[in-house]
Chain A
Amino acid sequence: MTKSEKIWYSTILVMLVITILFAMMLGASFITPQQMMTAFQGGNPNQLDILINIRFPRILSTMLCGGMLAVAGAASQAAFRNVLADPSILGVTSASDFFILIGTMLLPAFPASKFIFSILGGLFALLLLTRGPALKSPYRLIIIGVAMMLTFTGFEQLFANGFGGQTTGSFNGITWSQTEVLLFLGVSGMFAAVVISPWANYLKLSTEQLQTKGVSASMMRLALLLVVVYLSSGVSSVVGTVPFMGIVVPNVVRYLVGRDYQTIIPLSMLMGAWLLLVVDTIGRIVVLPSELSAAVIMTVIGGPFLILMLQRKNFNGLKSS
């Protein structure tokens, strides 16, 4: 591990711990660390209930989703060889949302139905992206992706008219059982991403180079994309779309520690967890007694971030050598 890697791993961990503490304290009712101690010792059942059944699951699920989306972003950037690729920008998550909506409208609910429709939607979007000429040019991929995102979102709004109860990228009211689903999907998906993170590095070589080294680029790309769909569909099926996480976090991490995906992926996981927790905690308290959803705040942060990246003089669509 290099020096900068050590510094950033520990910095982000410390920030994460501090943010968790704040997230536990802040909310509709303010709970001081002392009150927390009292509550845990059985002195205040009301506050204990708020902490255990409202704030804990919310904090945990926010962190999981943040990590999942950031890792999905990093993995899709490797698979598409494009640092702008992100499941939300490419329309993968909006396809998931749309499929979930159609699925719940047309078919009766069955166990894990949302997750399955979400996966199907994500795979459908990827199929569209990887079939055409989109892969050849980094800009074209993004333009097609954005067009798909708008299309699926439009269709979703069309069909959702008068059909309420859709998830909206908010962690408000998240339950322990939803958190458990995220825990399972998040841990398994992120573990897989870390295991195959060397492939993300190998894919920097051209397909022909990999071929002469006895390695199949398509197999590695497919594996990474499956992890992307698994992670982003997991988040979509439980909380809906939280945009831009997958583009903001891995690119900041790249700036901090360099281009090795074996570092980018685990560090994105931590930083994603931290960022989404910050965003959600802010959203909970800025407009009390109401709240802003994490998705809205991420749109406000992520949109300008993407524009800045595209405007940077040395952004040349990725080829660095």
Chain B
Amino acid sequence: MDLNQVSYHYPQQPTLLNEISATIPVGHILSIIGPNGAGKSTLLKLMAGILQPSGGEVDLDGQPISSIPRKQLATKVAVVSQQNDIFDDMKVIDVVKTGRLAHHSLLATISDAEVAKYIQATHLTSLAQRPLSSLSGGQRQRVWLASALAQDPTYLLLDEPTTYLDIHYQAELMGILKQLNEQKHITIIMVIHDINQAFKISDVLWLVKRGEVVKVGKPEECYDRELLANIFETNIQIVDVPHYGKYIVEIPETQAES
């Protein structure tokens, strides 16, 4: 996937993303990090084809995303968005099955067996027949992930997948993503707020500020105190934690001086 001078602004709003050009290497885990309002989620929506750029182009296999039919695009790019409300209620397995619609006619009956592997990969087997409304936030997030995986995508886009999850579910979800990337070679692109998680799991990081990609690099290249402090506009320390490695912490100005 390539971004060619992609710009975006919402109607009657100032420019949010300014001529971003970058290439997303296949098979990597890419995390987009940056402060709120930097345009991260918008960037993800442009890559998903949900929004059309105001300028420039997002290309997939050398073809502009906007020219690829919806259904075909869905077999290549899947999205787990931040807001996943449903109306009414649905069984877990039926939500997962909607991911297969990209591969079938709209009136096809999709068998339970066809989605079993996606349910297994996301540790949902025991919950498959339960209504979505009876699940916890972390479990629901895995259901949407399973539904996205059922599209058999080359690119999996996630918008703040861990935001509402406790530390246990966060680790579990990251484990699943890592496994998908290693075993199925799915390219993972995510917007994530927990920078330490991003540094730990990713192959590539994009540091975004005010609609521009300020830095592209491997995590080890991005452990840069000044750079991070500049991006998040706060005082940053990088410490060494035994059995973990480098850890980024935010320390308020006053305490840092004392």
Contacts and interface: CB of A to CB of B under 8 A. Distances in A.
A224 to B, nearest CB: 13
A286 interface: no
A259 B90 contact: yes
Contacts of A319: 85-87
Interface residues of A, number: 29
Contact of B89 (A216, A220, A321): A321
A286 B70 CA distance: 58
A4 interface: no
Interface residues of B, number: 38
A196 interface: yes
A220 B101 CA distance: 13
Given A201-B94, A259-B88, A321-B89, A213 B81 contact: no
29 contacts: A81-B87, A195-B107, A204-B86, A204-B87, A204-B90, A205-B86, A205-B98, A206-B85, A208-B50, A208-B81, A209-B98, A211-B50, A212-B50, A212-B74, A213-B99, A213-B102, A213-B151, A214-B70, A214-B74, A214-B102, A215-B74, A215-B101, A215-B102, A259-B131, A260-B91, A319-B86, A320-B89, A320-B132, A321-B132
A198 B101 CA distance: 11
A318 interface: yes
Interface in B111-129: none
B119 to A, nearest CB: 17
B91 to A, nearest CB: 7
A174 to B, nearest CB: 35
A199 B74 CA distance: 18
Interface of B: 48-50, 70-75, 77-79, 81, 83-91, 94-95, 98-99, 101-102, 106-107, 109, 131-133, 135, 140, 147, 151
Contacts of B85: 206, 319, 321
Nearest to A83: B88
Contacts of A198: 106-107, 109
Contact of A214 (B75, B86, B95, B147): B75
A9 interface: no
Interface in A170-217: 195-196, 198-199, 201-206, 208-216
The 8 closest A-B pairs by CB, nearest first: A214-B74, A214-B71, A214-B102, A81-B87, A212-B79, A321-B133, A320-B133, A259-B89
